[in-house]
Structure 1
Amino acid sequence: MTARSLTPRASMVTFPSHASANSDSAAVLVATSAFGHSLIAEHGQAAVLPWLKEAGADGVEIRRELLPDGFNDFEALGRAGAETSLGVVYSAADALWNGDSLAPGVMTRLEESRRLGAVAVKFSLGHYASDASPASRINAWQQLCDALKGTATPLLLVENDQTAEGGTLAPMAATLADAKAADCPLYMTFDIGNWQWTGVDPLAAAQALGPYVRYLHCKGVSVERDRHHASVPDDWELAEWRALLAHFPAGVTRAIEYPLQGSPLVDVTCEQIKRLRAL
């Protein structure tokens, strides 16, 4: 599998340069975090790839925060994805920006994603100083643009997280607008559930940011004792999500990022993949 192919069913992929007029349904990936930290700590992320293949997933989201301390064999993990014909998205678990500069570690994470053979790499926004001096911001954008050159470079995505600086409309919109002005290929992972942590209406966010969205993080949200938790979406939430999809590119690639529990686990995963694919 090359970095230009997210899944063996390439017609289903909606990342830039992978779209097809013959798309008939959306690609669905599964974030390994959906299986819980305990299971991944015991078995490793490579171990769940055959389960995902059997369940009908098109790809996997590898989570850096779930890799063992000192992990460095990204090539082997990438080969495991290729052997199961699963496209790979790399969740770097790091911020993209630190004020008017790229955050420390960005270049390292980009290199890890290349070694992994990922089709896309996902960062949180971090703190983007849109009011910083134009010169400093221009230099940082140029540095990022230069780093993204090359045929093996994955698509760069920034995700709304659960913080005020990285998960609200104003900083996200400013970042994406500045990326466009700098002719830098930065797109968005739209996390449906995370907007609830920051009190943003997901529909308003979809209307404002929809053209930039290339990847959809899907999770239901439940509230217990005034705390938000990721949960399996109910039918009402799925209906709400359909309204959001009207503002995104047709057939946008989506990922399960909510708990997958039950037995047999492959069947549970298969059922949830079908629910998202049918949206």
Structure 2
Amino acid sequence: MTTIGINLLVYMQELNNGTAQSALLPTIAGHGVTLAEVRREYIKDDAEFDRIRETAEANGLDLFYSVPESLTIGGAANPGFEGFLDEAVRMGVRNVKFNQGDVKDVDAAVIAAIDGAAGARGLTLTIENDQTPENGTLACTAASLAHIHEVGGAIGYTFDLGNWFWRGEDADAAFAQLLTDITVFHLKNVNGATDRAALSTTMLQDGVIDWRTMLPQLAPSVPVFMEFPIPADRVAEQVALVRQAVA
């Protein structure tokens, strides 16, 4: 059974207006989902790590953690890597997502050390295709995942459906090629504009991506996180659409 989650980007307007992520977790739980993905860039003070954990526990939410940093830099783990993992432990997080960085080029020992640090803390890790030339192309992502597999790494993969459009890539082709690598799915739809400046996310039913045919192909163990800004009064509607697609 596919588990549905909400990434806090869904509440971007509220976050930009100063609402803390911890204050939004009860709202997420109120939509009947059991997963929330916290975003590091919106954590404004140290005490928020503890508030997030306490609120998630009180509302029966499992947490994922999105860190907008490269996993590896210059052939080594990100200098802040272990600190990010410690933040995740403090919040009671299950999985931490990073940008892929140059992981396709690092030594096997670096990946083994990364896996060891995560495993010692009871965490899983994923890398993501983002919207940048460095971390967002299909060729780069496929090479990163192939290298991880070749050296026996445990790092998983967060497939971001909409981000391919910001790189001018074919989302359907990327999905078909990378399907067996996906361990987390970030769901969004886009207006399909060829001019990147005009490209934007849409409500799920309004965009150009046939996401409904993709979700049933995912392994049941792959959580599907909605990850795009949604007006507060339309979140329930969007959750219902995802539920219908994975039923």
- Root-mean-square deviation (Å): 2.2
- Aligned pairs, number: 243
From the superposition, tell whether residues 125 and 268 of structure 1 become closer, same or farther in structure 2 (CA, over 3 Å).
same
Q: Which position in structure 2 is the counterpart of 1:126?
A: 101
2:160 counterpart of 1:191: yes
2:9 alignment partner in structure 1: 33
Query: Counterparts in 2 of 1:197-236, with a 5 A limit?
Result: 197-222=166-191, 223=193, 226-227=196-197, 228-234=199-205
- CA shift for structure 1 position 193: 0.3
SS at match of 1:234: helix
State the AA in 1 paired with 2:238.
Q
Whole-Å Cα distance in 1 between the matches of residues 221 and 107 of structure 2?
A: 34
Instruction: Give the structure 2 partner of residue 94 of structure 1.
Output: 69
> Paired residue for 1:57?
33
CA contact (8 A) 2:184 2:224 kept: yes
**Structure 1 residues 251 and 272, CA, compared in 2 at 3 Å: closer, same or farther?**
farther
Separation in 1, partners of 2:170, 2:217: 14
1:1-279 aligned within 5 A: 23=1, 26-39=2-15, 41-68=17-44, 70-71=45-46, 73-128=48-103, 130=105, 137-150=107-120, 152-222=121-191, 223=193, 226-227=196-197, 228-234=199-205, 237=208, 240-245=210-215, 247-250=217-220, 252-261=222-231, 265=232, 268-279=234-245
Sequence identity percentage:
28
CA pair 39-110 structure 1, distance change in 2 beyond 3 A: closer
Give the Å deviation of 1:128.
Answer: 3.8
Name the SS of the counterpart of 1:43 in structure 2.
coil
Aligned in 2, Cα 1:114/1:32: closer, same or farther, shift over 3 Å? same
Q: Which runs of 5+ in 2 are unaligned?
A: none
Letter in 2 for 1:229: S
Letter in 2 for 1:65: E
Are 1:219 and 1:233, in contact at CA under 8 Å, matched by a contact in 2? yes
Q: Quote how far apart the aligned CAs of 1:251 are.
A: 6.0
| Aligned mates of 2:208, 2:244 — CA distance in 1 | 14
Pair 1:236–1:44, CA change in 2 (3 A): closer
Deviation at 1:243, TM superposition (A): 3.2
Q: Which has the higher helix share?
A: 2
Aligned AA (1:218): L
CA drift at 1:271: 1.5
Tell me how far 1:40 sits from its aligned partner: 5.2
TM-score by length of 1: 0.79
Residue ranges of structure 1 left out of the alignment (5+ in a row): 1-22, 131-135
Name the SS for the 2:73 alignment partner.
strand
Q: Distance in 1 between matches of 2:4 and 2:134?
A: 29
- How big is the shift at 1:89? 0.7
Q: How far off is 1:148 after superposition?
A: 2.1
Q: Secondary structure at the match of 2:57?
A: helix
Q: Name the amino acid aligned to 1:234.
A: Q
- The aligned residue for residue 8 of structure 1 is none
Distance, in Å, in 2 between the alignment partners of 1:247 and 1:102 is 33
